[in-house]
Amino acid sequence: MSTDTRDYYEILGINKKASADEIKKAYRRLARKYHPDLNPGDAAAEKKFKEINGAYEILSDPKKKQEYDQFGETPFEGAQGFEGFSSHGFDFRADGAEDIFSNLFGNFRQQEVRLRGADLSTRLDITLEEAFHGVTKPIKLTRTITCKSCGGSGAESSRICSKCHGVGSIKQSRGVFRLSQPCPSCNGAGKIISKKCSACGGSGSGVSSSTIKVRIPPGADTGSKVKLRGMGSAGTMGGPAGDLYIELRVKPHTTFRREGNNIYVDVPVTIIEATLGGKIKVPTLDGTVTMTLPPGTDSGKKFKLKGKGIPNRKTGARGDEFAVINIVVPKKVTKKTKEALEEIGKAY
């Protein structure tokens, strides 16, 4: 094997035990990466592409591969370092490479015509209670939908394209390659519109306004999004519709403050309750509960009510609620109350 030429297996990034299918997969991957059409003006990519094809010419042919494995490069020196593609009868069309490149560059007709519709977005305000329990809410939605009269084709009547004969693509030769391109006459549709659809004016879509119901799961928070698949704008020529994204905003609450999945609530107590302790009522999102306040509680003291917070959207596990004690001083003090407070003051 000459010293100035790389090993064919090394060029394709495979080992000598690679199967025919593995050889073809390696070739497809590299051909896609270094194809001249995808690297215009890149001399290095063009050279690499020629090397890849030269290696594939040998390794994809069982007889040539056997000779190469046994004797090295010598039987194929006429290939001149992969420059002469046809010196051994090598032809992309005969070798099935035309089908390979059709797969590499995809179905132009579907890519050109069957386009997905645009995604839509809107915002929805909900209360803290609705975020806690979950809720089904109506929203008004205006979007484009596929025309029912023409099914999205935009045509009331059509005829087969005479240039591509209804295929939607034409084949063009580029040197040794034959590649499929979308038909310029019908833009890949395979049909020419003879008469536009009278219902949609040929657009293939129309505007629809409706009210839909949206299910908001428990645990939603400001910034959470609900996705409704297929409820966005209609696609073109029968392409799939886009999706609808609903961004949620939880409105501030007059009683509770939310931090993540935890809830905070201020609980007013009297000086007597804070001093002597006792049973107090604490509001929660589940309803009012009774909590025991220990004697000598300071204002600002927090007490955790485990599992009384907001549920996690994924696991359902609930956060906690924190009752924050707020000692309320009486605005009006009678003589008797004043004397009692003075007696309490002596205890400090």
> How much is the pLDDT for 164?
81
End-of-domain residue from the set 48, 69, 104: 104
pLDDT of res. 262: 97
Structure confidence at residue 208 (pLDDT):
87
**Is residue 2 scored above 70 in pLDDT?**
no
Kindly state whether residues 138 and 241 are assigned to the same domain.
Answer: yes
As a whole number of angstroms, the distance between CA 131 and CA 300 comes to 27
Per-position b or e across 86-115, b if 16+ CB within 10 A of its CB: eeeebebeebebbebbbeebeebbbebbbe
Residue 317 belongs to some domain of the structure = yes
Same domain, 209 and 308: no
How much helix, strand and coil, in percent to the nearest 5, is found in the chain?
30, 30, 40
Q: What CATH number should be reported for the domain holding residue 221? A: 2.10.230.10
Q: Do both 126 and 236 map to the same domain? A: yes
The confidence band for 287, taking pLDDT boundaries of 50, 70 and 90, is: very high
Q: Are residues 244 and 260 in the same domain?
A: no
Q: Does position 77 have pLDDT exceeding 50, yes or no?
A: no
Same domain, 233 and 270: no
Q: CATH number of the domain that 333 lies in?
A: 2.60.260.20
Residue 2 domain-assigned (yes or no): no
How far lies 58's CA from each of 31, 55, 81, 199, 305, in Å? 15, 5, 12, 59, 75
Is 109 among the domain residues? Answer: no
Choice among 67-76, 185-194, 255-264, 325-334 with the minimum mean pLDDT: 67-76
User: In the predicted model, is pLDDT for residue 106 greater than 60?
Assistant: no
* Residues 214 and 295 reside in one and the same domain: no
The pLDDT tens digits of the residues spanning 129-170 come to: 999 999 999 999 999 888 888 877 778 888 888 888 777 788
- Is 112 inside any structural domain? no
Q: Which of these three, 229, 250, 271, is where a domain ends?
A: 250
Q: Distance between CA 135 and CA 215 in Å, rounded?
A: 6
Flag whether 110 is in a domain: no
Last residue of a domain, one of 215, 250, 285: 250
Q: What is the pLDDT of residues 203-247, one digit of tens each?
A: 778 888 999 999 999 999 999 999 999 999 988 766 788 999 999
Task: Please choose, from the candidates 201, 213, 189, 203, the residue with its C-alpha nearest in 3D space to the C-alpha of residue 233.
Answer: 203
In this structure, are 185 and 299 located in the same domain?
Answer: no
Range of the domain at 99: 8-104
Does residue 115 belong to any structural domain of this protein? no
Total number of domains constituting the chain: 3
Q: Examine the domain organization and report whether 221 and 185 are in the same domain.
A: yes
Per the DSSP assignment, residues forming a β-bridge with 226 are 246
Q: What is the pLDDT of residue 149?
A: 83
More confident residue, 35 or 261: 261
Tell me whether residue 50 is in a domain: yes
CATH for 85: 1.10.287.110
298 vs 340: CA distance, rounded Å: 19
- The burial class, CB within 10 Å (0-12 / 13-18 / 19+), for 301 is middle
Whole-number Å distance between alpha carbons of 225 and 242 = 16
Residue 96 is assigned to a structural domain of this protein: yes
DSSP for 300-319 reads T-EEEETT-SPBPTTT--B-
> Which one has a higher pLDDT value, 282 or 166?
282
Would you call 209 exposed, middle or buried from its count of C-beta atoms within 10 A (0-12, 13-18, 19+)?
exposed
- Whether 1 has a pLDDT exceeding 50, the answer reads no
Closest among 113, 111, 102, 91 to 171, alpha carbons compared: 102
